[in-house]
Amino acid sequence: MLSKRLMDEMNLQIMYELASGHLYTAMEAYCASVNLEGFANWLKVQTEEERAHGRLFFDFINKMNGEAKIYGIEEPQGKYQSLLQVFQNGYEHEQFVTDRIYLLADIATEEKNHAAISFLKWFVDEQVEEESNFLGIIKKLELIGDNTSGLYMLDKELAARVYVPPTIAV
């Protein structure tokens, strides 16, 4: 059973996860518009991950005899000055999501909801990976600078990313 407070915050998290996917789709569109298909692919996979995260919260709420809700999401930023700005914005967004996950974990811990604590641990670990992935690309872009050969190689590397569904049981 979920408390009203935890259920309400998890329902907001569904919205934030879906909004993340929406944001990354807009970023994908920008990358595709400047012919960086590898970067676009990386963001497409990121979109799928975020949608799956939203589904995990949806399913968990329902499994805990709660009532999952879907809220509207705002139009994401779609114009960028550079590829570096795209990934800096993505990194900042993931830091926001991390703060949200920590809030949920704090509430679950405060309420001694062990099922929610167990569920949220996967997301705590996932956020370490999410932030690290964005930061790694930022560092590579900064290292590459204006080197078009380096950008081409990184684009090719990111084109190889494939979506792998989460391995968390709900």
**Domains of the chain in sequence order:** 4-158 (1.20.1260.10)
Query: From CA 129, how far away is CA 59, in angstroms rounded?
Result: 22
Nearest of 5, 4, 78 to residue 43 by alpha carbon:
78
Residue with tokens 């399913």: 59
Q: State pLDDT tens for residues 84-112.
A: 999 999 999 999 999 999 999 999 999 99
Q: Which two tokens stand for residue 8?
A: 């309400």
User: Which residue in the block uniquely carries the two structure tokens 């705002």?
Assistant: 74
What is the per-residue pLDDT across 24-48, written as a single tens digit (0 to 9) for each?
999 999 999 999 999 999 999 999 9
Residue 134 three-state SS? helix
